[in-house]
Amino acid sequence: MTFISQLRPDHAEALLAFERENRAYFAASIPDRGDDYFAAFAERHRELLAEQDAGLHHFHLIEDDGGILGRINLLGVRDGSAELGYRIAEKAAGRGLATWAVQQVCVLAVQEYGLTALRAETTLDNTGSRAVLARTGFEPLEDVMFGDRPGRRYVLDLSGGAPPAP
């Protein structure tokens, strides 16, 4: 059974393994985290948990009995909104997991965190992510640049509650 859990201290080892295992896969569609991310992972994990405890972000893992399948986060929480970010393991890609996870985190955003809007950004060449955002009700807002890569910013109005599943 697949479930979403809030990031905890005891996730550190499994999360680091997930990030290492999928590093090259992620770097094909989003900027790489860099070697420092992995070298200082334990410290960064503690910092993220402190930021979560302060209400600045809401970090989640997508898991099943076999371990971590992905991450889905609400970042920069302020004024009733946050930025959505997610990454799905290569072994779990293409099965609708990201769409399901975005739907689930939209419900959490409304019911648990009291958010009324979400923002998201992706590169134009990340067709999978663009499709997930479209299927879950995000509307294109404007074109942006990710370094030298063109992208798009999206928004989702949650003031009427989480959108229904597509």
Among candidate residues 73, 81, 69, the one with its CA nearest the CA of residue 141: 81
Asked if 116 and 159 touch (Cβ cutoff 8 Å), the reply is: yes
- Supply the range of the domain harboring residue 127: 3-157
pTM greater than 0.85 (yes/no) = yes
Cβ-based neighbours of 73, under 8 Å, separated by 6 or more? 57, 58, 59, 60, 84, 85, 86
In a domain, 163, yes or no: no
129, part of any domain:
yes
Question: Is 14 within the bounds of a domain?
Answer: yes
pLDDT at 84: 98
The CATH code of the domain that includes 106 is 3.40.630.30
CA distance 119 to 148: 21
Asked whether residue 105 is assigned to any structural domain, the reply reads: yes
Q: Is residue 164 domain-resident?
A: no
Tell me 127's DSSP state.
H
Report the domain count for the chain: 1
* Burial (Cβ within 10 Å: 0-12, 13-18, ≥19) of residue 79: exposed
- pLDDT at position 63 over 80: yes
- Asked if residue 138 is part of any domain, the answer here is yes
Q: Alpha carbon of 43 to those of 52, 58, 118: distances in Å?
A: 14, 18, 28
Q: Give the mean model confidence (pLDDT) for residues 137-163.
A: 92
Residue 165 lies in a domain: no
Q: Taking 80 as the threshold, does the pLDDT of residue 30 lie above it?
A: no
Residue 103 placed within a domain? yes
